[in-house]
A and B are shown apart, each in its own frame.
Chain A
Amino acid sequence: MSRTLKELKPGDKAVVKSITGEGAVKRRLLDMGVTKGAEVFVRKVAPLGDPIEVNIRGYELTFRKSEAENIIIE
């Protein structure tokens, strides 16, 4: 089983392997720099449990857990 970014906890680090799914969500993630080899650092989870905030390519990005599920990590 491949691991997805959704399984990470705040403070964890990982390297992006690929993105599953298609359409606007995938394209948007790619455009924002969530591509193969990018390092992600999970910074925090929103107070109500979703979405999450990560640091990637030197900036802060947020997406929902349902989107994090599409991000496969190494």
Chain B
Amino acid sequence: MTYTFALVGNPNSGKTTMFNEITGSTQYVGNWPGVTVEKKEGKARKFKEDIEIVDLPGIYSLSPYTMEEIIARDYILDEKPDVVINIVDATNIERNLYLTTQLIELGIPVIVALNMMDVIKSREDRIDVEKLSAFLGVPVLEASASKGIGIQELVEKALEAAQSRASANSCERCKMLDDAIEQSLDKAEPFVALPARQKGYNSRWVALKLLEGDEKLQEKLKVPVTLMEDIKSFRKELEQKYDNDMETLIADNRYRFISDVVAKTVKKNNKGNILTLSDKIDKVVTNRILAIPIFLILMFAIFQVSFGALGSFTVDWLDSFINETVGGVIKAWLEAGGAAEWLRALIIDGILAGMGSMLVFVPQIMIVFFFLSLLEDSGYMARAAFIMDRILRKLGLSGKSFIPMLIGFGCSVPAVMAARTLENEKDRRLTIILTPFMSCGARLPVYALFAAAFFEQNQGVVIFSIYMLGIVIAVLSGILLKKFVLKGEVAPFVMELPPYRFPTIKGIYIHMLDRSKDFVKKAGTVIFAAAVVIWFLQSFSFSLQMVEDAGESILGFIGKAIVPAFAPLGLDDWRASVALLTGLVAKEVVVATLGILSGVGAAGEDSAELAAALQTYFTPLKAYAYMAFTLLYMPCIAAFGAIKREMNSWKWTFFTISYQTGTAWFVAFLIYQGGRLLGLE
């Protein structure tokens, strides 16, 4: 027999920890169809029965407003898991039980896992579990996910419920709603019985939801209009009687019931109003004066470690390991075997370098996500949003977008991935589109080269102005896109500030590993394929001859063909456009390509020879337009892969790179033509 249990609970209730405890290493992380919300599945360990555990998104309610809520609700209603395991944070019981009161109405057996009981015990608070279970009409079990306590019992109990096919929770004791509402439900229920039965939904729940005016459900059940008229008249009656709208009435009723239950079952050991450790930390961290400096110092430190010595050391090491050590071995082996030149090139410069261009990001992703999970698990992330909200709201973003933006100055790949910490889909998409405008480390060599060649006196100012240009373009784009593309109701900023907790090493480790695996598996294929394609295009001519000079390759041909498109930007030399194409592999490659095409070999950004060569086909104004274009046009293929992964949609991915490239063209155009009008050269 196979059973399916769904884990449902509020964010921060310990759901992930519980899931990991139950499933161990059997988990599989995917996506819910069509959206970027993560779907985790796994098998319960230590049971001979086949038990599939599905971790549903963390939610506060089943009211279908957020994507997470819709996913969770649809899953429970349509996939009908055998049991719903509801993780309830015992230290925040009132709000957590609100979801419970909704789950028990769905007609699927529910088991409540009262998590974080270790904290309750250490506080010497008391919860009468038996009484709570009687009030809710469902089994309630104590647990402590992070300590591994109560897990086995929980799964056993769920199995029992599944095997006995315990019919849905008949909760007669839990008189949650007012008599008048119950009576309306009695009247409405027969009306909806048919559409509810067709889908196998609990008819009383359907009646309640339609009475509340749930349009999503109405659409789903295709409730006839005439029938809705009747339901609406019931609603009108109630709303008039209470002089309040139905949504408010039902929520009030639920919370009133919960307050009552909590008063009867929870005894707090209130030793006066002592400040908890969490309160004390918060007093400093969100202090009026200290909050922003602390935030900035933290961000600076994270940035330094990720992209400073440690980050670049690991990247360089891995790069040379793959390309030199492994590459050297394979090369020697191929040469010994007498492989043809094109085959050697394919394996070493195509496939191996392609793999390398993906794998070099892994250490950095791990470092960045080490810090991100530290921020997230400790509870600081929510505070960061709280502190920064005011500034980022102006761009139509929320406070949490700050972190991906900042990481963008290091590397767009982990930055785009970091956008996943944003719950709201529109905010997340916007953040992904804007993050690559933050000038990443790989673009600096390009600026350094041009600044040295054309702006010798003001190198620092020129480079700084390019960085600022990226920020300004991001701000303007944010306002613009929010107004025309990602428009719609402003997502409410109503957010829980979870108590500070000490992050567990295990939690962080799992998080880091998950992200890296996910990157290699999901983004990796795209990056690898793109790298091999570009390698092919720049190494072969149309007659499939291998060429040394990229200018004679297929890519060179394409680069020459698109020169007219760049002419209005002043970039009328084919070498400039070809270098932009090879720059898609990684933006610093622009420098090397310019070197080769200018006939000075693969020069570095500080080569005086290359600078002199560039002066023959660039002017300072053209150079500045070129730098701006390099900053803004679509990011490298690795970032492209990450964008595809995080957008989880080709349409949005292509929109993103088209928007970026379009913006680059337009800005470079303004710079060049504007500069000319001002008489610059």
Q: B390, A61: Cβ atoms under 8 Å?
A: no
Q: A46, B389: Cβ atoms under 8 Å?
A: yes
Q: Which of A30, A36, A47 contacts B289 (CB 8 A)?
A: A47
CB neighbours (8 Å) of A46 from chain B are 286, 291, 386-387, 389-390
Known: A33-B94, A60-B497. A28 touches B286 (CB 8 A): no
Minimal beta-carbon separation of B272 from chain A (angstroms): 15
Q: A30, B493: Cβ atoms under 8 Å?
A: no
Is A8 positioned at the interface, with any CB of B under 8 Å from its CB? no
Interface size counted on chain B using CB atoms at 8 A: 41
Q: A24, B390: Cβ atoms under 8 Å?
A: no
Bound Cα distance from A23 to B98, whole angstroms? 19
Minimal beta-carbon separation of B323 from chain A (angstroms): 47
Q: B391, A62: Cβ atoms under 8 Å?
A: no
Is B232 positioned at the interface, with any CB of A under 8 Å from its CB? no
Is B288 positioned at the interface, with any CB of A under 8 Å from its CB? yes
Q: A33, B255: Cβ atoms under 8 Å?
A: yes
Interface residues on A, range: 35 or more
Q: B494, A28: Cβ atoms under 8 Å?
A: yes
Q: B496, A32: Cβ atoms under 8 Å?
A: yes
Bound Cα distance from A29 to B494, whole angstroms? 7
Interface residues of A in 19-74 (CB under 8 A from B): 19, 22-33, 35-38, 44, 46-51, 53, 57-64, 67
Q: Which of A19, A35, A67 contacts B255 (CB 8 A)?
A: A35
Is B256 positioned at the interface, with any CB of A under 8 Å from its CB? yes
CB neighbours (8 Å) of B252 from chain A are 35-37
Q: Which of B65, B93, B94, B244 contacts A27 (CB 8 A)?
A: B65
Is B598 positioned at the interface, with any CB of A under 8 Å from its CB? no
Q: A59, B65: Cβ atoms under 8 Å?
A: no
Q: A67, B492: Cβ atoms under 8 Å?
A: yes
Bound Cα distance from A33 to B61, whole angstroms? 10
Is B395 positioned at the interface, with any CB of A under 8 Å from its CB? no
- Mark contacts of B232-254 with chain A using CB atoms, 8 A cut-off: 1 yes-contact digit, 0 otherwise: 00000000000011011001100
Bound Cα distance from A43 to B79, whole angstroms? 42
Is B663 positioned at the interface, with any CB of A under 8 Å from its CB? no
- Can you list 16 A-B contacts with CB-CB less than 8 angstroms, sorted by A residue number? A23-B489, A24-B491, A27-B247, A29-B494, A32-B496, A35-B251, A37-B252, A37-B256, A37-B259, A50-B390, A51-B389, A51-B493, A57-B255, A59-B92, A60-B497, A63-B494
Going nearest first, the 10 A-B pairs with the smallest beta carbon separation are: A31-B61, A30-B251, A48-B390, A60-B497, A25-B492, A57-B94, A47-B291, A63-B494, A35-B255, A28-B494
